[in-house]
Amino acid sequence: MTTQPHTDGGPSAAHTVTDTDLAALDGLISHTTTQGVPTLYAPRPGEITAGLFFRVGRADETLATAGITHLVEHLALHRLGLSDLHYNGATANTYTLFHVTGSEDEVVSYLNSVCAALRDLPLARLETEKEILRTEAAGRSGGPGSQLPLWRYGAQSYGLTSYSELGTWGLTADQVRHWAQTRFTRDNAVLWLTSDSVPAGLDLTLPAGTRRPAPAATSALPVTPAYIHGDDGHVVFTSVLRRSTAASVFADVLGRALFQDLRQEGGYSYSAEADYTPRDAEHATLTAYADALPKKQDAVVGGFVDTLARLRAGRIEQSELDSARGKILKRYDSPDLGASSLPSYALNLLLGHRLLSPEQHRAELNAVTLADLREVAREAWSTGLLQVPGRGADWAGFEPAPQYSQAAVVGTRHQSLEDDRITLVIGDEGVSLVTPRGPVTVRHDACAVMTTRPDGARSLTGTDGFCVSVEPTLYRGVTPERIAAVDASVPAAAVVPLPARDPQQIPRPRERTSAPQSSGGGRSTWAWTLGLWLVGSIAAIWSLLSAAVTADELGAADPEWDAVVGVWVLALPLLLVTWQLHRSRQRRRR
Amino acid sequence: MSSSSNGRGRASTGAYDGTYGGASALMSDPFDYLPDLAPLRPAAQAGDWPAVRAFFMGLDSAEKVSYASGLLSDIAGVEGFLERAVAELPGDPLPRTLLARRYISIGWDIRSGARAKHVSRDQFDRFHAWLRKAEQLLIEVCAEQPAYAPAWTARLITARGLELGQAEARRRYDRLSAHHPHHHRAQIQLLQQVCPKWSGSWEDAHGFARECASAAPDGSVAGALVAEAHIEHWLDLDSGADAAYMRGLPVRDDLRFAAQVSVLHRDHVPGWDTVGAHSTFAMAFSIGGHFADAAPHFAALGNRVNESPWCYLPDWRGQFTKFRKNALATL
């Protein structure tokens, strides 16, 4: 039902988890299957916490269906709405998690209810849940680095988290049902429970399906390290690392190094931290962040650049490695190690990442060297994307991320009614906005979404993240026929109809820009206009009189030429003053 | 701080004996007036990297390396052998720093010393491209050797040219001063940055100059920064107001105090920056008409002079000899 996103490579090579891998967990975590769903469990005193993972998330969607996974999650939980149980659902990039804490009976009834709902979604609720998701989105603000995924991946795969859930406008019941039946299957799930046995009475009956590997990453960045401009007060750096024990240690070393440099030594930042989050079976996302006072943000960028350079140069103290390693090793001091490790083992099983026993992981941690950290630092740099406030980061070796498309399409040309230098092109292959600094193009065959308005407006977003808005009121000659031509070319799966806009929301052209001088910035000219009228009228009347005198004298037998010259000499200064007033008034208007 | 009469008495040992020549006899090239520098220029002009390296390795302070790397950067063509040296010695901070200084000079020659509004877009693009090349070498050097003052000093110049902002320039200076608290070549660079022409303010400029002067030990050249800040301020004022500013007693007293604790102090040990410091004081007192105050500086200079800041004056050599005559007449 949905077009698979265009990718620049095959699906990630997920490791197939076998019983041999699970054997690594013997003595710590037990495993079985429940109605075909792989199940991990380990005891912990007190209430039971359980989580049901599905290998589907935002990165599996398209921009036109964005939010479909979240919708399924909401619909699956709807029936539990009024219970007092401590439960929730979460939709991430590559997984959806239903989790609960309670007595055995409560956990059983929650999980049974979720699976029953997934088998038969309460689709009568669809429009209401769509509305709820739109409301939820309106109240959610993106964090400081929320635009980075779209610049790295485009409007597809892992870039979709930068966008709103557009699917909440147009998704049909059939689409949502199909998504649940193909993604929320027993073969695409893993259950974990903090319990010494799998409770009787669990009914996780789900349709059969296949384990879907995490989607392959797309790329919208031709060159890395790259940078983009962001809001004042925030510096964010992300990179993609191969998953490894050394890489996870490096993230901690980087976080501490930034804190030491930017907060403790420099005093430029309050927060300075780094995070390592697995993206798929093979790769993880490293995110480093520092805030800054506006007056200090240049220094934060400088300190960030220098800290990355220091780690890349391998000037890392043994104590930095030891502290980071110690922090990770401390997790093994947990009294209920098996139970507390369940979510991460379950997620690795789901994604197809290798499972390491605590002993194996400890051995790997102890084997990490300073040279390993330097290697990770270099990898982090080479795949880096930096978001900086204010000035760019080209001085530090970052390339600007592309601001314009490679080329414009050929088609009918529609000049902007606001700015002569801008032209909209509507062609058979796509649409382009041609600006003096470069074109922005969305090709129909790489169109992630086209939103439509009843007033004729269209907004197209390409899979590379570039966006062109076709507003018929803002360009010359964008007739209903041209809009129909766009509609006919964009694949139906990419179309999202939006409701009618308030007439006030339909844009109207601002005053045009043709010359470099700005319009509307002129000074008051009423006094000059009045003066021009007064002097101009006297000059006109005198000139008429002079003309009459001239004509009269021309007709006379003996013209009095000195009188003719006299009246014209008197007219001249009047005409001159009129001309000067006119000129001054024009100047003031510019 | 000790009494002024002592310092002044000692500093004027080179008192005027009537033998100075005119403007043409002035020595304004450090290669001419600092004999220690003698081996550097011929080695650089011959592209003799081993000799250039040996010269730098023989210097006994980071101050001297920063000073000499600035001079080397103005010698055309040195980038050729420096690029080869960088390739041969990838872990050595010296060749990368010298090469970066040369790139900065090449860039600045393209930009020219004109105010920004007189520099074309194309000039700026090429200027920035050279500075970025320099900066990326220097990022590496500072990452590897955070105490290497000559690289941080160069990064103060790239920060200014690339307009990385006041906070970033100050961060660089702070990183440097953590290891070298009174690095004069770096202080001269940061003083330029904090002037209004580079988006600073007079408050910052005078404040930074005073901060350096008061933190430095007695007899240090840091006091000359106070004079330099006043000269920059004078240059920025309109005709008339500028002369009044320098004639004013607050500026004169500020200059006197700065001179007394620096090059006129009995603890002052002449070094490579001494001529520059006396040149600055001599000019600051002269343009304010304080010739008696200028006299010990002219006396210490003799025929030697540093072009900066004198080159701010039209026909500066002529002015120098005229002011020197007026000043020495007061002795």
Is the same domain home to B26 and B42?
no
Is the same domain home to B44 and B13?
no
The pLDDT assigned to B6 comes to 34
Is the same domain home to B172 and B218?
no
CB contact under 8 A, A302 and B142: no
CB contact under 8 A, A315 and B167: no
The residue among A2, A21, A9 whose CA lies nearest residue A352 is: A21
The residue among B306, B303, B309, B311 whose CA lies nearest residue B328 is: B303
Q: How many domains does chain B have?
A: 2
Could you say which of A305, A313, A391 has the minimum Cβ distance to residue B163?
Answer: A391
Asked if the structure places residue B174 within a domain, the reply is yes
Closest residue in B to A391 (Cα–Cα): B164
Is the same domain home to B12 and B110?
no
Mean pLDDT over A433-438 rounds to 96
Query: Which pairing describes strands A226-229 and A385-388: parallel, antiparallel, or unpaired?
Result: parallel
**Residue indicated by tokens 């996870």:** A248
> How many angstroms separate the CA atoms of B96 and B83, rounded?
8
Contacts A377 to B, Cβ<8 Å = none
Residue A555's pLDDT band, with cuts at 50, 70 and 90, is: low
Could you say which of B140, B164, B175 has the minimum Cβ distance to residue A395?
Answer: B164
Chain A contact residues (CB < 8 Å to B): 266, 268, 295-299, 301-303, 305-306, 309-310, 312-313, 315, 390-391, 394-397
Is the same domain home to B158 and B284?
no
> How many angstroms separate the CA atoms of A490 and A488, rounded?
6
ipTM: 0.91
The DSSP bridge partners found for residue A227 are A386, A400
DSSP state string for B256-324: HHHHHHTTTSTT----TTHHHHHHHHHHHHHHTT-HHHHHHHHHHHTTB--HHHHTTSTTHHHHHHHHH
Could you say which of B132, B142, B159 has the minimum Cβ distance to residue A394?
Answer: B132
Query: Which pairing describes strands A399-400 and A226-229: parallel, antiparallel, or unpaired?
Result: parallel
Q: Measured between alpha carbons, how far is residue A156 from residues A4, A161, A229, A384, A394 in Å? A: 9, 9, 21, 19, 27
Is the same domain home to B173 and B108?
yes
Which of the listed residues B156, B183, B210 is the one where a domain comes to its end? B183
Neighbours of B138 (CB within 10 A): 30
Q: Using CA atoms in the order A72, A75, A81, A86, what is the torsion angle rounded to 10 degrees?
A: -20
CB contact under 8 A, A309 and B139: yes
Asked if the structure places residue B321 within a domain, the reply is yes
Asked if the structure places residue B188 within a domain, the reply is no
Asked if the structure places residue B189 within a domain, the reply is no
Burial class of residue A451, CB neighbours in 10 A (0-12, 13-18, 19+): buried
Token pair listed for A383: 């795949």
Asked if the structure places residue B320 within a domain, the reply is yes
Phi, psi of A101 (to 5 degrees): -130, 130
The pLDDT assigned to A143 comes to 87
CB contact under 8 A, B164 and A394: no
What is the nearest CA distance from A296 to chain B, expressed in angstroms? 5
CB contact under 8 A, B171 and A266: yes
CATH number for the domain including B132? 1.25.40
The pLDDT assigned to B228 comes to 98
End-to-end CA distance of chain B: 24
Pairs from B159-163 (Cβ < 8 Å, separation ≥ 24): B159/A302, B159/B193, B160/B189, B160/B192, B160/B193, B160/B198, B161/B104, B161/B107, B161/B108, B161/B111, B161/B127, B161/B128, B161/B131, B162/A395, B162/B128, B162/B131, B162/B132, B162/B135, B163/A391, B163/B199
CB contact under 8 A, B143 and A303: no
> Using an 8 Å Cβ cutoff, are A349 and A38 in contact?
yes
The pLDDT assigned to A568 comes to 67
Is the same domain home to B207 and B154?
no
Q: Measured between alpha carbons, how far is residue A266 from residues A94, A297, A393, B168 in Å? A: 38, 11, 20, 11
The residue among B26, B17, B16, B20 whose CA lies nearest residue B318 is: B26
Prior bond of A358 cis (ω within 30°)? no
The pLDDT assigned to B18 comes to 53
> How many angstroms separate the CA atoms of A254 and A237, rounded?
11
Which of the listed residues B163, B183, B203 is the one where a domain comes to its end? B183
Asked if the structure places residue B82 within a domain, the reply is yes
**Residue indicated by tokens 């680095």:** A145
Contacts B131 to A, Cβ<8 Å = 395
Is the same domain home to B152 and B200?
no
CB contact under 8 A, B168 and A397: no
Asked if the structure places residue B291 within a domain, the reply is yes
> Using an 8 Å Cβ cutoff, are A543 and A571 in contact?
yes
Asked if the structure places residue B162 within a domain, the reply is yes
Mean pLDDT over A393-408 rounds to 97
What is the nearest CA distance from A237 to chain B, expressed in angstroms? 18
- Per run of 10 residues, the mean pLDDT along chain B (length 331 residues) is 33 47 84 96 98 98 98 97 97 98 97 85 95 98 98 98 96 97 97 95 98 97 98 96 96 98 97 97 98 98 96 95 96 86
The pLDDT assigned to A361 comes to 95
**Residue indicated by tokens 């970052």:** A398
Is the same domain home to B47 and B8?
no
Is the same domain home to B209 and B317?
yes
CB contact under 8 A, A298 and B142: no
CB contact under 8 A, B135 and A305: no
Closest residue in A to B130 (Cα–Cα): A395
List the single best residue of B125, B136, B139, B199 to mutate versus A (max A Cβ within 10 A): B139
Residue A546's pLDDT band, with cuts at 50, 70 and 90, is: confident
The answer to whether residue A537 scores a pLDDT higher than 90 is no
CB contact under 8 A, B146 and A313: no
* Domain of residue B292, residue span: 1-34+194-331
> Using an 8 Å Cβ cutoff, are B162 and A395 in contact?
yes
> How many angstroms separate the CA atoms of A332 and A128, rounded?
45
Mean pLDDT over A496-500 rounds to 96
pTM to 2 decimals? Answer: 0.85
Is the same domain home to B275 and B177?
no
Instruction: Give the burial string for A16-47 (b: 16+ CB within 10 Å, else e).
Output: ebeeebbebbeebbbbeebeebbbbbbebeee
CA B133 to chain centre: 23
Contacts B143 to A, Cβ<8 Å = 306, 309-310, 312-313, 315
**In one letter, which amino acid is A193?**
L
Is the same domain home to B311 and B240?
yes
Prior bond of B42 cis (ω within 30°)? no
Residue-wise pLDDT for A121-159, tens only, equals 999 999 999 999 998 887 777 789 999 999 999 999 999
CB contact under 8 A, A306 and B143: yes
DSSP state string for A407-456: -PPPEEEEEBSSBTT-EEEEESSEEEEEETTEEEEEEGGGEEEEEE-TTS
Residue A23's pLDDT band, with cuts at 50, 70 and 90, is: confident
